[in-house]
Structure 1
Amino acid sequence: MLFENQRVTPSVSGAGEFMKAALEGAEAIVLAQSSMEELVKVHKICRRRPGMKLLLHLDSMKGLSKTPEAVSFLAGYIKPDALITSSPQAAVEARRHGITSVLRCFAFDEESIDSSLKLIERANPDYVQVVPGVIPVTIRLMRAKTGLPVLAGGLVRTDADVCRAEKAGATGITSSCPDLWQAAYVSRAKRS
């Protein structure tokens, strides 16, 4: 379980932010909006810190595409604990390689929700990430319709956002807001 042990999972863009989040107590961290060079640095950090989980946002990585070939490469050389992607094909390939798959769905109206549900059915991911993660009704709906654990991501910036997502049934929350990486947010044990 990658997201259930943390209230907020930090989403970072490089090795420096990765270390900052790790020092706050995060065991699982998303690497997004980053380069291959930073990915290699973060991979080295993870190898030196047993128990550290690397969750890779495939779609936003510079130098990688969201293809089955990219997933195979990552599975062979980087071995991330999870891949976050909007590509059903990449999600399927991740699962084939034993990597936890998170299908990222943009859900902001009925049409986008219906489209997302079709993609989820094709991909059969381990988790669904709802973006933006600040719409409680969407979190509840996706959880009810899919039966899968739902993550809230995108635009989660405040304590109130975190609380609303949790009340709506989000299994986990990802955020690039450093204020939400503090130990009180990262640890489930300190949950109010």
Structure 2
Amino acid sequence: MLIENPVIAAITKDEDLKKVLESNVSIVFVLYGNILSLKNICETLEAHNKIVFVHIDLIDGLKGDQMGIKFIKDNAKPFGIISTKASNIKYAKALGLYTIQRVFVVDTLSFVKGVKNIEDNKPNAIEVMPGIAPKIISKVNERLNCEIIAGGLIRTKSDVIEALSHGAIAVSTTKYDLWSL
């Protein structure tokens, strides 16, 4: 799925939702909403044949715990979830959701801790941030047997190409003009 659709739309507001519906992007990361609006956001995207992932840590009015994950699965019905929390990844996988663990790699300690969490919880994919750090993407790719999505600060076509050439299988971006690559 990610190989065929290497650019993922990351949406953070209703204006982004409208734009992504007009795009050819297949995969959408929902990085906004609340417990009242999330179901409608997901249903709208799915009605336009988009594959939806909800970043559960960013949904207002929802605690990012087991009941919050179950609520999202039962009510919004996304294809999968994104989270920085290892416990959320583990529980979501147990519920049958596709999981993407977001990892911020800012120093050696965060790299080591991120690798351990990924090895322990085995998410379906990881999102390495910032996505414009090709050396980090290469290093993570060497160490782990997991699909890598580069996210964060992806602003140009060359950023996309560089991330993909260093081992990322896809990139997520809020930049509308990159959604059509």
Query: Is the structural similarity TM-score above 0.5?
Result: yes
Q: Which runs of 5+ in 2 are unaligned?
A: none
Q: What's the TM-score, normalizing by structure 2? A: 0.93
Counterpart-to-counterpart distance in 1, 2:38 and 2:70: 16
Out of 65-74 and 111-120, give the one that drifted further: 65-74
Sequence identity percentage: 23
- Report runs of 4+ in structure 1 exceeding 3 Å deviation: none
Counterpart-to-counterpart distance in 1, 2:47 and 2:150: 29
Match of 1:112 in 2: 110
Counterpart-to-counterpart distance in 1, 2:40 and 2:15: 9
Match of 2:5 in 1: 6
In structure 2, relative to structure 1, the CA distance for the partners of 1:97 and 1:70 (3 Å cut) is same
Q: CA RMSD in A?
A: 1.5
The answer to whether residue 43 in structure 2 is matched with residue 44 in structure 1 is: yes
Residues 32-67 of structure 1, C-alpha deviations (whole Å, 9 max, x = no match): 033334423212313533x32111111111112221
Amino acid paired to 1:41? N
2:100 to 91, 99, 102: 102
Residues 111-151 of structure 1, C-alpha deviations (whole Å, 9 max, x = no match): 11001011112211000110101000111111111110101
Match of 2:24 in 1: 25
In structure 2, relative to structure 1, the CA distance for the partners of 1:47 and 1:127 (3 Å cut) is closer
Residues 7-51 of structure 1, C-alpha deviations (whole Å, 9 max, x = no match): 2101002344223113111121111033334423212313533x3
Q: Which runs of 5+ in 1 are unaligned?
A: 186-192
Match of 1:188 in 2: none
Q: Give the conservation status (yes or no) of the 8 Å contact 2:43–2:76.
A: no
Shift of residue 177, structure 1, vs aligned partner: 1.6
Q: Give the conservation status (yes or no) of the 8 Å contact 1:133–1:154.
A: yes
Q: What's the TM-score, normalizing by structure 1? A: 0.88
